[in-house]
Every structure is written in C-alpha cells, then in structure tokens.
Amino acid sequence: MSLAVRVVTPRKIAWEGTANSVTAPGELGEFGVLPKHISFLSTLKPGPLTIDTGSAKLKFKVGLGFAEAGAAQVTILTESCEEA
C-alpha cells in the first residue's frame, strides 16, 4: 500500500505522486506518515519535507502551512516549496 501525496502552493502543485512515507516539519515537531496512518491535521513551520517514493528520497524546503493526513493520502498546503 502507498500514499497519494500532493504538495500545493498558492501558485501551483509543487509535487504529486505516490510515496511509501512522508516526513514533515510540524509546528510541534517533525512527524512522519505511513500508509494506514490515523487521520489528522497539523500546522507546518518552515523546514524540510521528505517524500520517500521507494526508489528515491525527494527533499523539499516548505514554508508555513498545513498538512492533512489519512490512511491513504497526505496533502501539504504551504506558502512555498523548493527542492532542497
């Protein structure tokens, strides 16, 4: 099982695809999401976002925003996203 991941900024979809895991910079600390994760919503602080696709670990730097996670999807809404 994998996660459907979407990273969205005000200007574009910065990345969209499937992943084995996602690690993001939550306001209260870094958190990771795996398939079958319990649903939750978190605020994001600026920092590193890592998306593990199985074949590669993609690294981004994100700004303030929100993350919504569930059993099969992760959506990152952020003011900025750059490849790191």
pLDDT digit string, tens, across residues 25-41? 999 999 999 999 999 99
pLDDT above 90: residue 50? yes
Phi-psi region of 54 (alpha: psi -120 to 50; beta: other; left: phi over 0): left
pLDDT digit string, tens, across residues 57-83? 999 999 999 999 999 999 999 999 999
Tokens of 12: 């574009």
**What CA–CA distance (Å, rounded) separates 68 from 84?**
22
Sorted by where each begins, the domain ranges of the chain are: 3-83
pLDDT above 90: residue 1? no
- Name which CATH class applies to 3-83: mainly beta
Contact by Cβ (8 Å): 34, 28: no
